[in-house]
Amino acid sequence: MTGIAQVMNSLGRSGLEYVASRLAQAFAQPDSDSHLLVTSRVPGDLFDEMLGEVRVDFFRRSWPLDPSAIRRLGRYLEKHDIQLVHSHNWVSAYQVWAALRMSSARPVHVLHDHCGSYDEWRGPLDRMVLGSLDAVVTVTEPVRARFARLLGLAPDRCLLLPNGVALGPGGSPWTGRPTVIQVANFHVAKAHDTAFRTAALLREQIPDLRWVCVGDLAENLEYTARMRELFDALELEGCVELAGGCSDVRERLREANVGVLTSDTEGLPVSILEYMAESLPVVMTDVGQAPHVLKESQAGIVVPPQDPESFRDALASLLGNPSEAVTVGLRGRAHVGRYFSDEVMIDAVRSLYLDLLQENGKANLAERLRR
């Protein structure tokens, strides 16, 4: 049976993994297989949440271009007659490119770049390796324009597509201890040092402040160790909670007043959309595509990167005016429901798949996707 495969590096819990797994679930149909192919060694947090209709497989790579893992991936694409591969970052796109050269599989290949910036050193390699791509999807306009120039793709094959999230049922505003929540795995780009310094400043104005950091603490152990040292130096025990990974982020969000992201670089992080979907006002750095969303929707405050004082002032203004914070949060929820729902994202990806499959002589799979 023919099928579609989403390919990524892990089944951890972040925006990339959420989007890939959501697409795998959306395209699982009785008459065509949906595959989620993970190049890492072991299942991650999302493994137990996948629907039974999605085929999940792991290729146990020991390093990014592990030839044995890539060969296994190529055999899998061939054996299961995968007719469309959707790679969810440039590393997995390189892996698929190599796998296709070790097999007779010839699927349509789409790259989905979830990052907000582009590494210029990759330019010559990308031109050589990714020149065979059928389409590129990005979450920020600068990266979209960079790929369009580099690979010479037509505008309708190099798309700007925002991530999508499920809109929850809504609920009453949090009335407990004043709480800021930050959903971000611990790695350098997320700039938790800015978060910790902001919390230390804000605590001077709001003594009972609670700042909850939700995210994987083991993604970059050296970085996490540095952040723990700063945590101790600022004496944040009792104020900042290092909650680690979380299987139900929405439950955590319902126990907060404001969502925050202190990143130095971003694309369009799913966490920002999750905050908005749960009616939380947002404070974030002026990086990536998300600030445009906040400004359009008037759903939060945008501040410069690495500026704890600006973060403190923005958060204090929201925490100090609960009725205004609720109004701002509701604007965000309405905006997400209209423009950034899962359904909007999935429909856009489906349209792209249909066009590519038709163009490449894979009409049978295209017809099944239309049903």
User: For 297-337, how does the pLDDT look when each residue is reduced to its tens digit (9 = 90+)?
Assistant: 999 999 999 999 999 999 999 999 999 999 999 999 999 99
**Burial track 260-276 (b if 16+ CB lie within 10 A, e otherwise):** bbbbbebbbbbbbbbbb
How confident is the model at residue 332, as a pLDDT? 95
Domain range list for the chain: 3-164+342-370, 179-339
How confident is the model at residue 44, as a pLDDT? 55
Q: Containing H/E element for 210?
A: strand 210-214
Question: Residue 217 has which token pair?
Answer: 């603490």
Residue 96, CA distances (Å) to 21, 106, 225, 366 in order: 18, 11, 34, 22
**Nearest Cα residue to 362 out of 83, 33, 157, 156:** 83
The rounded distance, in Å, linking the Cα atoms of 240 and 32 is 47
The rounded distance, in Å, linking the Cα atoms of 284 and 304 is 8
The rounded distance, in Å, linking the Cα atoms of 257 and 270 is 18
Answer whether 271's CB lies under 8 Å from 139's CB. no
Mean pLDDT in the chain? 91
How confident is the model at residue 371, as a pLDDT? 73
Bridge partners of 32? Answer: 29
Do the first three CATH levels of 3-164+342-370 and 179-339 match, i.e. the same topology? Answer: yes
Answer whether 55's CB lies under 8 Å from 21's CB. no
Mean pLDDT of the 17-28 span: 89
The rounded distance, in Å, linking the Cα atoms of 3 and 282 is 39
How confident is the model at residue 50, as a pLDDT? 55
The rounded distance, in Å, linking the Cα atoms of 129 and 193 is 36
Tell me the pLDDT tens digit for each residue of 72-108. Answer: 999 999 999 999 999 999 999 999 999 999 999 999 9
How confident is the model at residue 43, as a pLDDT? 56
Tell me the pLDDT tens digit for each residue of 45-71. Answer: 555 555 568 898 889 888 888 999 999
pLDDT above 60: residue 192:
yes
**Confidence band, pLDDT 50/70/90 cuts, at residue 115:** confident
Bridge partners of 108? Answer: 84
How confident is the model at residue 13, as a pLDDT? 65
How confident is the model at residue 361, as a pLDDT? 92
More confident of the two residues 281 and 44: 281
How confident is the model at residue 364, as a pLDDT? 87
How confident is the model at residue 355, as a pLDDT? 95
Mean pLDDT of the 246-251 span: 84
How confident is the model at residue 346, as a pLDDT? 93
How confident is the model at residue 30, as a pLDDT? 73
Mean pLDDT of the 147-155 span: 92
Q: Containing H/E element for 84?
A: strand 82-87
How confident is the model at residue 42, as a pLDDT? 59
How confident is the model at residue 11, as a pLDDT? 73
Q: Choose which CATH entry (1.10.390.10, 3.40.50.2000, 2.60.40.1180, 3.40.50.10420) describes domain 179-339.
A: 3.40.50.2000
More confident of the two residues 270 and 212: 212
How confident is the model at residue 48, as a pLDDT? 53
CA atoms within 13 A on the CB side of 135: 25
pLDDT above 80: residue 41:
no
Class of domain 3-164+342-370: alpha beta
Question: Residue 15 has which token pair?
Answer: 């925006």
pLDDT above 60: residue 246:
yes
